[in-house]
Amino acid sequence: MNMEKHIKRLLCLGLILVIVSTTAGCTRQTAENSGSQIVPTDNLPIGSEVTDPELERLWQEYIYDAIYTIGNTWEFHSAEEIDPAAVARFCWQKYQEENGTDKLQKVSEEDLSLLFPLADAQKYAERYFNLTALDVSKITDYYKPEKQAFVFSPHIEKCKPRHTTANAWGTKLDKVMKTNDGTLTVAIEYYSDSRVDSRQTFSLKERADGSFYFVDGRREFIDNHLVTLTGNVKEFREIEGFSGDLQEISMVGEAEGKLLLVYTPYNESQSGALMLLNPNEMRIEKSVSLSSRIESTDVRFTDNRLIVRSKDKVLVYSRDLEVQSEISLPNVITEKMVREQKYDQMGLTDVFFGGYDISSDLCQIVYTDEIGVKLVTLQDGKEKLLAKTIAPKVSEPSRGAPITPSYHFSPRFVADDKKVITTLSAYEWTAGFTLCDLDKGTNTKYEIITEGSLATGGIRYDTGLLFVNQYWYDERGAEKNRNTDGYITTFLDFHSGQVSEIELSEPGDTGYIRFDDQSYIGQNYAAFATSKRSDGGRANDRHYLNRINLQTLRLEQEIVSIAATDIHILGVLEDGRIIFWYQYNPAEKGIGLTAER
């Protein structure tokens, strides 16, 4: 159940590292502004404009570090409304600038992150935000209560870029105004494709000693009308009755024309929910909060009921979102989840838990651990090993990757509960899939490698798995001097166990990691997105929706196209309609529903 969170964190960490690595130091060239739209500054308060050298001092001490920390809170009217984790990260930067990191303790010998004492963070929070106390109760990922300290990685920019030069965040300092009462209003412009994409303002109050502290901030996005949508599509601005992030909802099924959604917010202080969506009106008709925190992969719709898997029990809901029953997990599974992990010299753990699933009749549970795939009969508690963990092949070259076992994770009952499929782990990707036939007592391995995907964790319907533009290499062909690699699209049928190749006449771009919301496998149809990116920036990129009939594997390509932003597929209805969303920025976004097949 933690595999989805782990993958997301790895992807987020990778994105952060990429952004930070683009910072080139103090010799940046001035950003090119040709052809850009300039946002009016009429809303700035009347006063005098701050100029250098004072402007550069303010940029270095206050503004630059605010952009990528507290700037992620898009609107606040007091320091108490800012994400406290962002405040702590801003304070962390200031502490490092003044003190370095030599006196700080490491989290452990294995973890090189540092402990930033709460007491020190409080001093900087008072100086820069006038906060007498930092509410750490709202911080889940970066704070250790038992240590009374935050956990951050060291990062000191020896020389920040000047306000007149380009920076890693694509921003330009427009102007800083100072009113007679000493209030500073900072105006920052964010650029994308040589256009102003958004405008951010910060307000700071001046103390008697000449120092400042943040009191207000907001970010306003601009609709530059770049997105164009073509095809037989009904467009909606938003989902009525839902105010959260569309990235945090998933379609898990369909009942009598209504879509069953699960809402799993990234913010751990918020509650998840099950929802009923009327797709014709794009309106939430019912929402039921979940008491325990789950991942989107923990919900399945089968036999006209929703099954929600949590850490200690299974909840069964009707298609009207009413609780029908509750099943406690056997101790053999709950005990596996809470075991203490120990690590060897390579940082590898000696225990593993890869999640569980329950059969449609609620009589059997399958789970995975460091031993392999195990089937438990709930009535008598008997356990059966279906497939063993795959031992590492020491003789094969590792290419710098640690040599580890290939664990099974995200087990799922498929083929009318007659089979179990799992994903096989590997270093930074997956190593394939194992399909266990419960009647025959056999298992088959499919060497289909994926990156960026939850794989079997993302199964919604008992049909199959679709792999679009996956890299393929044939070792046998190399021996006969044939073409040995390329990109192919295949479909793995759960019932037959066969893998069929689907030829794409328009495959679009290849060679990049595809994420789960770029495809969806429904009951009768599957949909996937392809892209043709331009060297001229996002505004000239084209993205397409494609549909497959799962009975015949007949393909319809590019039934919908959209310019300037990616397509995110929410789901596919039984009649072939595809529901998707797009967002260039929060001011230019929408939801689409294609016509019936």
pLDDT in tens, 321-344: 999 999 999 999 999 999 987 777
- pLDDT on residue 345: 66
pLDDT at 21 over 60: no
Q: Which of 21-35, 77-91, 140-154 has the weakest average pLDDT?
A: 21-35
Q: What is the DSSP string of 12-39?
A: HHHHHHHHHHT---S-PPPPP-TTPPPP
> What angle do the packed helices 118-129 and 84-99 form, to 10 degrees?
100
8 A C-beta contact, residue 62 and residue 212: yes
Residue with tokens 């106390």: 133
pLDDT at 454 over 80: no
pLDDT at 36 over 50: no
pLDDT at 397 over 80: no
Query: What's the predicted TM-score (pTM) here?
Result: 0.84
pLDDT at 13 over 50: no
pLDDT at 313 over 80: yes
Q: What is the mean pLDDT of residues 516-529?
A: 97
Q: What is the mean pLDDT of residues 458-486?
A: 76
pLDDT at 44 over 70: no
- Helical (H) or strand (E) element with 127: helix 118-129
- Helical (H) or strand (E) element with 261: strand 258-263
pLDDT at 535 over 60: yes
| Confidence tier at 398 by pLDDT (50, 70, 90) | low
The two counts, helices (H) then strands (E), for the chain are 7, 37
8 A C-beta contact, residue 239 and residue 591: yes
Q: What is the mean pLDDT of residues 70-77?
A: 96
Q: What is the mean pLDDT of residues 496-512?
A: 95
Question: Distance between CA atoms of 318 and 260, rounded to whole angstroms?
Answer: 11
High-pLDDT (> 90) share of the chain, %? 75
**Greater confidence, 583 or 537?**
583
Specify the amino acid at residue 575. Answer: D
- pLDDT on residue 402: 61
Q: Which of 130-139, 227-236, 420-429 has the highest mean pLDDT?
A: 227-236
8 A C-beta contact, residue 330 and residue 313: no
Mapped onto helix, strand or coil, the DSSP state of residue 344 is coil
8 A C-beta contact, residue 250 and residue 287: no
8 A C-beta contact, residue 115 and residue 106: yes
Structure tokens at 118: 């709460």
**Strand locations in 63-157 (E):** 75-76, 114-117, 143-144, 149-152
8 A C-beta contact, residue 351 and residue 370: yes
In 3D, which of 533, 414, 545 has the Cα closest to residue 468?
545
